[in-house]
Structure 1
């Protein structure tokens, strides 16, 4: 069975202020009619009559073209009136007109007024407060889930915990050890010239020991883990959110927090203090080598002074910071991962935010620790 080809839609100016529409005003028939309609014009303040009696077929595409024509002609300080359109075509034209009006009312304006500096500051502050409230809610939900694990130890997922200990802890040993060693070398090297001027070479052990154990080792370890593991947490969870794997987990009855967040929390609580101890050892070792090379302080002299000067309290202060830094890194990384929306661009954006926010909060927490320990005379 063959189909009769649709008659092409056409527009003809029959009088100066009257045009006639004919043919099939459908998807198959309108063709290039839109460019022909754009050439129509009318004097300002006049009324244009559109004769639609010879329209043979009409669909939503044709209705959209006719509505566009009416709007354009009626927007030049004049009026446009359509006549003799079939009743069924009139109903379709009304429906299309209502849909166009609804889209115009709900869509944002084309020209958005730029925000002033004060308005921009207000929007940024509101966004920061909203994100802070959402972060607190996430911490609360994670705490409740952790309480469920403590109350029901059989629900603890040991395999993900061990995997995260290996990925966030053992696999990070080379980079943490190398940077801590180099940092110890730099601290001893920078202090060598000043100590040599006063004949206080042996005090290099005090400088390296206290600075590495109390401040540098826990801080540099946390920054490395934030850039290495925190970003991985955000990227992993963000990718799962984009591909709707998290929704699928909820559908089959698996709590995402218990599967994706709590193993990382427990693993990093274990791994980061151990990495800090490793960083302490390598940092002091690097300082010891530089003290021997620059200040002629032997290894035995360095260790003897180190044991007398660096107390257990200084060591425990550095180790005590690690769990707090671990909580910051894993919470921010997982939180930003769950906030991922859209596609791959959003994954990259949230990963970047997780690293920046984690490092910033770790440094702020370290500063607060310094103030608190100074007040407590520790």
Structure 2
């Protein structure tokens, strides 16, 4: 056995502190740590570990930590450094008698060091765009799967409520109906009134050149009842009520209220989501009817004040231009658009993470996605109704 004098570290340039003793036995280097392996001894520790690593015949190393009084992140990093460099040389570090209170610190430092050693490969510039497209498609695919899951969960909850009506949250549904329906009437009435007025004004301005003032009434009636009325109302509801649903559910998820419901044995879909969607499906057709009537009234007012057409003539022409089919087309679309808005809003709300930034991003995504799907759905309905002659 060969014993070697231990290296000594100096703290504050004054007192000598014995931090590491080195000895060799049977081609195994024995290290005995003592005192405090902390940041104030950083210079001494770095020199001692470097001196050990500089030994020419360094193989397997045993580090005895029984003499340690205190160790901090820097001391744990020095041990991790010794372990990594020995491993790179084909050696092995065996740590013995590490105090239990420092085991978690050492594992955390070791994991951080492993992550720092892993340098992510840089993608080739010519493939960056393709990677972004692929990642975007994957994200959209995951979002579509979540929407399907939400649709299935809501349908299952509705089926359970039909089988056992006492489980349906009627009071919550009425409350949500008041919020998304009754309280939305003023803004819906105002916006659709203005839209109808603008369409009529532009129609008179351009049709007058061809002496076709009467056809303005046809345009306003058909356009409002079939397309504009339900579309404008759906977009307004998506921005007003859809964003509200997402923010509410997201806030509940951040405060772990949804987890608390599950812990108490309640299904969040039954308690929170189904009443909101049912209220939306009921409210949107009613708001569509009110909005369409408001837009027609706005068109009548413009026809009277700007186009010189009396209200009697406007109403008579409107009766000739429109039919119950046009009204049905708009009203049939409304519940489906409401269902899509509710599903998207609730899905985005449940995807909120633990930060305010996540809540804002999901609320924005809810509104944008809802409006996009509403417009797509309107286009699909237009093709469908055209194919069946409506």
Q: Tell whether the structures are fold-level matches, with TM greater than 0.5.
A: yes
Aligned equivalents of 1:346 and 1:47: distance in 2?
Answer: 55
Aligned counterpart, 2:97: 88
The alignment's C-alpha RMSD in Å is 3.8
Aligned counterpart, 1:32: 40
| Change beyond 3 A, Cα 1:39–1:189 | farther
1:346-369 deviation per Cα after TM superposition (whole angstroms, max 9, x unaligned): 222211111111110000000111
1:69-128 deviation per Cα after TM superposition (whole angstroms, max 9, x unaligned): 5368769x989999xx99635999999777655555578945453472222222221221
| Change beyond 3 A, Cα 1:21–1:194 | same
1:373 Cα deviation from its structure 2 partner:
1.5
Aligned equivalents of 1:98 and 1:11: distance in 2?
Answer: 22
1:184 corresponds to which of 196, 204, 214: 196
1:121 corresponds to which of 116, 124, 133: 133
Whether the 8 Å contact between 1:9 and 1:25 is mirrored in structure 2 is no
Gaps of 5+ in 2: 1-14, 23-30
1:357 corresponds to which of 366, 369, 382: 369
Aligned equivalents of 1:8 and 1:365: distance in 2?
Answer: 80
Is structure 2 residue 315 aligned with structure 1 residue 303? Answer: yes
Whether the 8 Å contact between 1:34 and 1:65 is mirrored in structure 2 is no
1:241 corresponds to which of 241, 253, 256: 253
Aligned equivalents of 1:353 and 1:8: distance in 2?
Answer: 63
Aligned counterpart, 2:9: none
Aligned equivalents of 1:54 and 1:290: distance in 2?
Answer: 90
Alignment of 1:64-75 (within 5 A): 64-68=76-80, 70=82
Aligned equivalents of 1:90 and 1:251: distance in 2?
Answer: 38
Whether the 8 Å contact between 2:36 and 2:69 is mirrored in structure 1 is yes
Is the deviation greater in 167-176 or in 60-69?
Answer: 60-69
Aligned counterpart, 2:281: 269
Aligned to 1:278, what secondary structure does the other structure show?
Answer: helix
1:343 Cα deviation from its structure 2 partner:
2.3
Aligned to 1:254, what secondary structure does the other structure show?
Answer: coil
Alignment of 1:1-378 (within 5 A): 24-26=35-37, 30-35=38-43, 37=45, 47=56, 56-61=67-72, 63-68=75-80, 70=82, 88=97, 100-102=109-111, 104=113, 109-111=118-120, 113-114=122-123, 116-378=128-390
1:341 Cα deviation from its structure 2 partner:
2.2
1:9 Cα deviation from its structure 2 partner:
5.4
Aligned counterpart, 1:3: none
Aligned equivalents of 2:266 and 2:99: distance in 1?
Answer: 54
| Change beyond 3 A, Cα 1:69–1:9 | farther
1:36 Cα deviation from its structure 2 partner:
5.1
Whether the 8 Å contact between 2:45 and 2:78 is mirrored in structure 1 is no
| Change beyond 3 A, Cα 1:180–1:23 | same
| Change beyond 3 A, Cα 1:90–1:296 | closer
Whether the 8 Å contact between 2:230 and 2:333 is mirrored in structure 1 is yes
| Change beyond 3 A, Cα 1:112–1:346 | farther
TM-score, scaled to structure 1: 0.83
Aligned equivalents of 2:163 and 2:134: distance in 1?
Answer: 44
Aligned equivalents of 1:304 and 1:372: distance in 2?
Answer: 30
| Change beyond 3 A, Cα 1:90–1:225 | closer
1:370 Cα deviation from its structure 2 partner:
1.1
Aligned equivalents of 1:255 and 1:170: distance in 2?
Answer: 28
Aligned counterpart, 1:17: none
Whether the 8 Å contact between 1:48 and 1:79 is mirrored in structure 2 is no
Aligned equivalents of 2:95 and 2:247: distance in 1?
Answer: 58
| Change beyond 3 A, Cα 1:211–1:172 | same
